[in-house]
Structure 1
Amino acid sequence: MMMENVDVDQRKQLPNYLLDAAGISIERMPMLNVIFDRMAASCTDSLQPIAGTPCYFSVNGITNDRVGDIIKDYEANAVAAVLYAEQWDSRIIIMLDRDFVFTMVEAMFGSDGAEPPLDVERTFSNIEIRLVQALFERFAKALQSAFAGTSNVTFRVERVETAMASLAIGRSGNMSICANIMLQALYRGGQMFLIIPHSALNPLRQKLAHVVVSDGRAADPRWREQMESEVQRTEVTLSAVLDEKMISLDDVVKFHVGQVIELEATPRTLARLESNNQVLFWCQIGQLDGYYAMQVADPVDQKREFVDDILSR
């Protein structure tokens, strides 16, 4: 009798209402497995140039859980980042357990794994927090890339927390998808937990219900050759930086014509060759046919640059 009072448009929307009430079924969203596998592979590739040892990421499982149940066992034993997805108007959580953090610190700072794993409960140091902040930025980009093709979404690190009680992205009883991604490095490892509320994924149900993967066999070899040719002919802007000096804004406003600003560089100082704010090589400055010239001396150690950037924060 009640259905007779429901108009036609409302009847069409009833299946969606029922799905919303039932939540996300992992079995009916096979594309989630593909997305999380992509993220794990992207994390592995992203850390390869900067880690002193191979770091492998793999999906260990995907579950449906309440947010509060997921994080309650990791109070004072993990560090987490809250990511804001503007296109979804929703927030998600990436949480790293203590073993993950300690393993990454050793991998990034050149350990060979000979020392036994650190087994002590203490607060995370400032260097460890800086390191995971940099890692969260990379993981956010990896997740964004994994969702490409399914959802045009960007993830921004909003804040980093060590107190799990501060991870408020909704009610603690709200259901979420939790992907457990394992790290393996230096004969040890750790766990990453990616927590996405059902409310963020509900609008994507239909896209997540079908697996969409690219087929490399369908690539046109002529198109690939043309793409390679165009990329090789692309012009890029190079900048040579001999030295930098930090000065106050008060000193800047006092600049006058003819003033000399002293630098600590000498004719033997190596200059940084950059493109798009990315350091590429260390170069020696010279002259050739009446022009300034740069001779490549050494490639840039991406790992060292990454660590120096963390320590300078």
Structure 2
Amino acid sequence: MNVESFQTAAAAGGVSDRLLDAAGITIDRLPMLHVIFDRVATYCADGLRHMSASPSYFSVSNIESGRIGDILEDYESNAVAAMYHASDWDTRILVGFDRDFVFTMIEVLFGADGSEPPVDDERGFSNIEMKVAQALFEEAGKAVQAAFAPISRTQLKLERTETRMDFAIIGRRNNLAVVAKLLIQALGRGGEMFVIIPQSALSPMRQSLAHVVSGDVATADPRWSKQMQSEVSRTSVSLKAVLEERTVDLGDVAAFEIGQVLELQATPRTQVRLECNGQALFRCQLGQSQGAYMLKVEDVIDEDQEFIDDLASD
């Protein structure tokens, strides 16, 4: 290919990209966006588990495209929004909570049980409500950042929060953007969280977003994993020590009488099998200490190997 042909092809590619950007992103052609925002919902729910006793459920309500100004107009006087700088994308994105979301989270985080009627007030947000929203924005930013990481990594830095959507500026108001709306349910009430990303930030990822990554697995939250491990480790279990087992006929069992003595073939040196929930775990030695029976673990039981050994001996 000569230089002139290369320049012509490059120019054609640039024109096609500009035409695609001008036409806007078609959500149906970017199925990976739904996977990403499902992750955002999961990460937000996991993050709130560490902050409240009552469970909160997040779900993706809708993902659509539109003009930034038109999107924000729907939330005017009814939401609080946070602007984040995405350094690697060279853009800013916006995350917002509507009034019902903030009031619901106040009740969840301060231990309400849902017995009180929901707040129905058009007043401005109080200082406490704004501080709670700030803490929730920190969690939401981490969730969005983690959800996009397999496609395009970037650091999201929270710059400021606004209650007037006129000041929630992440680009020209007539620029195209994608907005994802997530619903929260807790204590029998709910609210809406929304994420607005300029289409100019998503255009470079278009090819990656056009295909769902097979075998894609969300990264585990290390805090949740640690808490799970801690709770499982503290779970109480019952252990059973089996000194001897014998097979008898049902007729012999029916003939048992009160006071009858059943002789065992076991001796003080017979190994005891330690079981949990019907699963053999260890071979132990029976002993005594301070007037009580005790077991000393001597070996781990491999039931699969024992089964193979029994077949070989037969």
TM-score (norm 2): 0.65
Give the corresponding residue for 1:108.
109
Deviations 1:185-208 (A, max 9, x none): 010000011101101101111111
Q: How much does 1:213 deviate?
A: 4.4
Give the corresponding residue for 2:207.
206
Q: How much does 1:214 deviate?
A: 3.1
Residues 176, 12 of structure 1: alpha-carbon distance in 2 compared, 3 angstrom cutoff = closer
Give the corresponding residue for 2:180.
179
Give the corresponding residue for 1:235.
none
Give the corresponding residue for 1:92.
93
State the alpha-carbon separation in 2 of the partners of residues 163 and 130 from structure 1. 17
Give the corresponding residue for 1:197.
198
* SS of 1:76 mapped into structure 2: coil
Q: Look up the equivalent residue of 1:34 and give its one-letter code.
A: V
Q: Kindly report which structure 2 residues correspond to 1:102-181, keeping only aligned pairs within 5 A, or say none.
A: 102-181=103-182
Deviations 1:14-64 (A, max 9, x none): 322221121111011111000000000010111012113100100001011
* Aligned structure 1 segments of 4 or more residues deviating by more than 6 angstroms: none
Q: How much does 1:74 deviate?
A: 2.1
Q: How much does 1:12 deviate?
A: 3.3
State the alpha-carbon separation in 1 of the partners of residues 119 and 192 from structure 2. 15
Q: Look up the equivalent residue of 2:139 and give its one-letter code.
A: R
* SS of 2:74 mapped into structure 1: helix
Q: How much does 1:211 deviate?
A: 0.7
Are the aligned partners of 1:174 and 1:197 in contact in 2 as well (CA < 8 Å)? yes
Deviations 1:128-154 (A, max 9, x none): 100010110110000111011100111
Among all aligned residue pairs of Structure 1 and Structure 2, give the percentage whose two residues are the same amino acid: 53
Are the aligned partners of 1:81 and 1:159 in contact in 2 as well (CA < 8 Å)? yes
Give the corresponding residue for 1:27.
28
Deviations 1:217-254 (A, max 9, x none): xxxxxxxxxxx9xxxxxxxxxxxxxxxxxxxxxxxxxx
Give the corresponding residue for 2:260.
none
State the alpha-carbon separation in 2 of the partners of residues 105 and 9 from structure 1. 54
State the alpha-carbon separation in 2 of the partners of residues 162 and 202 from structure 1. 29
State the alpha-carbon separation in 2 of the partners of residues 49 and 152 from structure 1. 25
Number of matched residues?
213
Deviations 1:258-277 (A, max 9, x none): xxxxxxxxxxxxxxxxxxxx
Give the corresponding residue for 1:51.
52
| Long gaps (5+) in structure 2 | 218-228, 230-314
Are the aligned partners of 1:177 and 1:198 in contact in 2 as well (CA < 8 Å)? yes
* SS of 1:45 mapped into structure 2: helix
| Long gaps (5+) in structure 1 | 217-227, 229-313
Q: How much does 1:215 deviate?
A: 5.6
State the alpha-carbon separation in 2 of the partners of residues 19 and 120 from structure 1. 44
Give the corresponding residue for 1:237.
none
Q: Look up the equivalent residue of 1:99 and give its one-letter code.
A: D
* SS of 1:111 mapped into structure 2: coil
* SS of 2:14 mapped into structure 1: helix
Deviations 1:122-177 (A, max 9, x none): 11111110001011011000011101110011111110011111011111111110
* SS of 1:138 mapped into structure 2: helix
Residues 215, 82 of structure 1: alpha-carbon distance in 2 compared, 3 angstrom cutoff = closer
Q: Look up the equivalent residue of 1:14 and give its one-letter code.
A: V
State the alpha-carbon separation in 2 of the partners of residues 215 and 163 from structure 1. 38
